[in-house]
């Protein structure tokens, strides 16, 4: 693969990428893609015992370790948890990140999700994916190959639209059955979050919850485990299903399986 094959996953918090699209990243890495995992926030509210600075450092190291499992690089915009905002300053930070990475493919949160950090990160990713190749959008150098990338949205939490309660209909499903152990290993790097979630959410099944969701999505495409995505088809964005073409996914854009 050429050096233009770069995927950038921009999520709100450390561990979001591993939960929502870790298997897809493993499969892309096997194909030779460059992997970049970025978060808007630093995870500084992700503990009931450690202070902000301390847990942020812990989570940064965990995120670096997880990204390294697929030969990837971890980036952080440095925002605080529950304070991610679609603001001029943060748009500039995100555009600068995109300039540095020059992604071919971007994966981020859906427009609607269970918490606003996710929704605001979605807006930042959309803004930067469209704007980073505009010469005057950043003072950083612009790669000659820079262009509007493919853009996909991962599942919201548990696959539900939080405003309607309905399951999101994916356009693309990635069969990750063969790489589920590697995805699980990536998520296990975020050891601090198992304890945080147990205390804050009353959930002592960090990895099992992820596996159940992937199994649920797998049922849709007759596989053991899958990850679901909705492709962005806005003006100027590539229209063909890159993930489907690369990874042999079950594409749900056929009218037999998706309601208009």
pLDDT digits (tens, 9 = 90+) for 98-151: 999 999 999 999 999 999 999 999 999 999 999 999 999 999 999 999 999 999
Please give the residue range of the domain that contains residue 88.
6-251
* Alpha-carbon gap, residue 208 to 253, rounded angstroms: 29
- Asked, for residue 46, whether it belongs to a domain, the answer is yes
CATH of the domain at 115: 3.40.50.10320
Predicted pLDDT of residue 256: 35
- Asked, for residue 1, whether it belongs to a domain, the answer is no
* Alpha-carbon gap, residue 48 to 61, rounded angstroms: 18
Length of the chain: 260
- Asked, for residue 241, whether it belongs to a domain, the answer is yes
pLDDT digits (tens, 9 = 90+) for 213-251: 999 999 999 999 999 999 999 999 999 999 999 997 644
Comparing 10-14, 44-48, 203-207, 220-224, the range with the smallest average pLDDT is 203-207
- Asked, for residue 258, whether it belongs to a domain, the answer is no
- Asked, for residue 118, whether it belongs to a domain, the answer is yes
pTM of structure: 0.93
% pLDDT > 70, the chain: 91
- Asked, for residue 198, whether it belongs to a domain, the answer is yes
Structure tokens that stand for 243 in this block: 């993930």
- Asked, for residue 259, whether it belongs to a domain, the answer is no
pLDDT value at 3 more than 70: no
Locate the DSSP E strands across the chain.
6-11, 34-41, 73-79, 105-108, 150-154, 172-175, 226-231, 250-251
Comparing 37-41, 46-50, 105-109, 154-158, the range with the smallest average pLDDT is 46-50
Q: Which helix (H) or strand (E) holds 91?
A: helix 88-101
Predicted pLDDT of residue 1: 36
- Asked, for residue 260, whether it belongs to a domain, the answer is no
* Alpha-carbon gap, residue 101 to 208, rounded angstroms: 33
Q: Mean pLDDT throughout 74-101? A: 98
Predicted pLDDT of residue 11: 98
Q: Are 159 and 216 in contact (CB under 8 A)?
A: yes
Helices 191-200 and 206-220 cross at an angle (nearest 10°) of 90
**Count of the separate structural domains present in the chain:** 1
């Amino acid at each position: 693969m050429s050096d233009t094959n770069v995927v950038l996953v921009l999520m709100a918090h450390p561990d979001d990428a591993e939960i929502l699209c870790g298997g897809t990243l493993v499969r892309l890495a096997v194909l030779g893609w460059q992997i970049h995992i970025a978060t808007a926030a630093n995870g500084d509210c992700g503990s009931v015992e450690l202070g902000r600075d301390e847990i942020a450092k812990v989570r940064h190291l965990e995120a670096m370790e997880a990204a390294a499992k697929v030969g990837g690089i971890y980036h952080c915009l440095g925002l605080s948890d529950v304070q991610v905002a679609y603001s001029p300053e943060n748009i500039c930070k995100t555009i600068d990140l995109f300039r540095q990475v020059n992604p071919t493919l971007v994966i981020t949160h859906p427009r609607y999700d269970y918490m606003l950090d996710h929704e605001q990160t979605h807006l930042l990713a959309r803004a930067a994916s469209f704007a980073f190749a505009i010469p005057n959008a950043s003072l950083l150098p612009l790669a000659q190959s820079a262009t509007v990338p493919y853009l996909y949205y991962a599942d919201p939490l548990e696959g539900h639209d939080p405003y309607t309660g309905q399951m999101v209909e994916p356009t693309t499903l990635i069969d990750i059955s063969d790489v589920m152990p590697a995805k699980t290993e990536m998520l296990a790097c975020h050891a601090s979050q198992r304890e945080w979630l147990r205390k804050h959410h009353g959930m002592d099944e960090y990895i099992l919850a992820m596996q159940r969701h992937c199994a649920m999505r797998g049922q849709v495409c007759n596989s053991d485990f899958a990850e679901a995505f909705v492709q962005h088809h806005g003006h100027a964005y590539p229209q063909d299903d890159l993930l489907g073409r690369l990874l042999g996914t079950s594409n749900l854009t056929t009218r037999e399986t998706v309601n208009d």
